[in-house]
Amino acid sequence: MAEVVVRPMNGGNGHYSYSKNSAFQRNAIEAAKELINKGIAEELDISTFTSSKTFKIADLGCSVGPNTLLAVQNIIDAVEHKFHSQKESNNIACDVPEFQVFFNDQASNDFNQLFTSLPPQTQYFAAGVPGSFHGRLFPNASLHFVHTSCAAQWLSRVPPEVLDKRSPAWNKGRVHYSNSSSEVIKAFEAQYAKDLDNFLKLRAQEIVHGGLMALILPGRPNGTPHSEAYINKAFELVESSLIDMAKKGRISYEKLDSFNIPIYYASLQEVESVVKRNGSFSLEIMENLPHEKPQPKVMSVTLRAGLEGTIKEHFGDEILDELFDLLLYKKLEEASSVIESCDSVCLFVLLKLIPNEQKRVYAACTG
């Protein structure tokens, strides 16, 4: 069976571009700003960075548009502030370092758009790094701060069993897990735990000891069932729109059954449990941030900017207008009162890489 191919956010600058339809994701970055400042102020030990004169930041799954630049600027401002205040309080020579920023996304991301949208005078050296964050992207111990926002909910693949007719976890007639059988949900949970663990292992190789990583993820509150989280409700409407199209004969049931959206929305508890089992990072900050629920029109275009590439790859591009602009938009409007009652949260986790010699001690403490 053909794999579902994940495509990046919509490129360019047009009506359905991610660049113009990412207020939802921007909101997450802005909500996280204060916590990133706090994390850098309290957790960044700048004495470990003064030997290497360049402070290196990576934004994983950066996509294109204003969000990308905003997130990086927040981090640089906070690091500069830390250096300045350290200098004043200790009266020691710790000059603000040079910054190098690596913007990462899949090779098919619109890097041309990203590069031409960089301000002519940045206070950092910019680079683009093509490739999936489910694989290695950077040399050993070469990054000081990794940031990833609204990206690590994308799985490395659709769990194979949900596309397997012989499996009890077969997600027949559906493309999302939140309203499916417990077998389907377990398959997605397990894939997510595996992918996040692998993600942490990879980043543990790439980040310097004492380096920080901020994970920002749309998610669900601890204890809230999958089907009652706002973001899953929205995805169920994408699913229901696709089912309508199959009923109308616009897409075949075979196509529908061979597709699932490779995305999973975790709770803080789940992230915490993977991080602790993984053992490479200490959890410094962990919070649910409130997250906006956009108007139906905005949400339908936001979902289109993010999912269009992946859906087009599987179903072809002739269904996109009907799917998103007609069906999904209508369903989002109809469901607005249900949606209003759901919690929309954004998970914020700040991690710090534990030096190898401390790992065993930490593991003993956190069980």
Who contacts 24 (Cβ-Cβ below 8 Å, separation ≥6)?
150, 218, 291, 292, 294, 298, 299, 302
Residue number with CB closer to its own copies (110 or 239)? 110
With CB under 8 A as the contact rule, the residue among 83, 138, 188, 329 that binds its own copies is: 138
Q: Are 264 and 192 in contact (CB under 8 A)?
A: yes
Q: What is the dihedral of CA 27, 7, 10, 151, to 10 degrees?
A: 10
Per CB under 8 A, 102 contacts its own copies: yes
Per CB under 8 A, 126 contacts its own copies: yes
Q: At what angle do helices 296-315 and 23-43 cross, to 10 degrees?
A: 100
Residue number with CB closer to its own copies (39 or 65)? 65
Which of left, alpha, beta for 364 (phi over 0: left; psi -120 to 50: alpha)? alpha
With CB under 8 A as the contact rule, the residue among 13, 48, 50, 100 that binds its own copies is: 100
Per CB under 8 A, 3 contacts its own copies: no
The 139-168 contact track toward its own copies, x by CB under 8 A, reads xxxx--------------------------
With CB under 8 A as the contact rule, the residue among 1, 5, 107, 363 that binds its own copies is: 107
Residue number with CB closer to its own copies (140 or 356)? 140
The 60-99 contact track toward its own copies, x by CB under 8 A, reads --------------------------------------x-
| Min separation Cβ 83 and its own copies, Å | 16
Part of the chain binding its own copies (CB under 8 A), chosen from 28-36, 126-134, 278-286, 293-301:
126-134
Q: Which of 299, 310, 349, 356 is nearest to 22 (CA)?
A: 299
Other C-beta atoms closer than 10 Å to the C-beta of 240 total 18
Entry field: residues in the chain: 367
Residue number with CB closer to its own copies (105 or 244)? 105
With CB under 8 A as the contact rule, the residue among 2, 53, 89, 166 that binds its own copies is: 53
| Min separation Cβ 136 and its own copies, Å | 7
The C-alpha angle 65, 68, 69, rounded to 5 degrees, equals 95
The 206-225 contact track toward its own copies, x by CB under 8 A, reads --------------------
Who contacts 99 (Cβ-Cβ below 8 Å, separation ≥6)?
54, 55, 56, 57, 76, 79, 123, 124, 125
Per CB under 8 A, 108 contacts its own copies: yes
Question: Quick one: DSSP state of residue 5?
Answer: P
Per CB under 8 A, 54 contacts its own copies: yes
Rg over alpha carbons for the chain, rounded to the nearest Å, is 21
| Min separation Cβ 137 and its own copies, Å | 7
Per CB under 8 A, 5 contacts its own copies: no
Which of left, alpha, beta for 210 (phi over 0: left; psi -120 to 50: alpha)? left
Question: Quick one: DSSP state of residue 177?
Answer: S
Who contacts 210 (Cβ-Cβ below 8 Å, separation ≥6)?
44, 45, 48, 352, 353, 355
| Min separation Cβ 51 and its own copies, Å | 11
State the burial class of residue 42 (Cβ atoms within 10 Å of its Cβ: 0-12, 13-18, 19+). exposed
Part of the chain binding its own copies (CB under 8 A), chosen from 123-131, 157-165, 192-200, 348-356:
123-131
Per CB under 8 A, 137 contacts its own copies: yes
Number of residues lying near its own copies (CB under 8 A): 27
Part of the chain binding its own copies (CB under 8 A), chosen from 42-50, 107-115, 230-238, 288-296:
107-115
CA-to-CA distance for 185 and 140, rounded, in angstroms?
Answer: 35
CA-to-CA distance for 350 and 211, rounded, in angstroms?
Answer: 11
Residues in touch with its own copies (CB under 8 A) = 53-54, 98, 100, 102, 107-108, 110-112, 115-116, 118, 125-131, 136-142
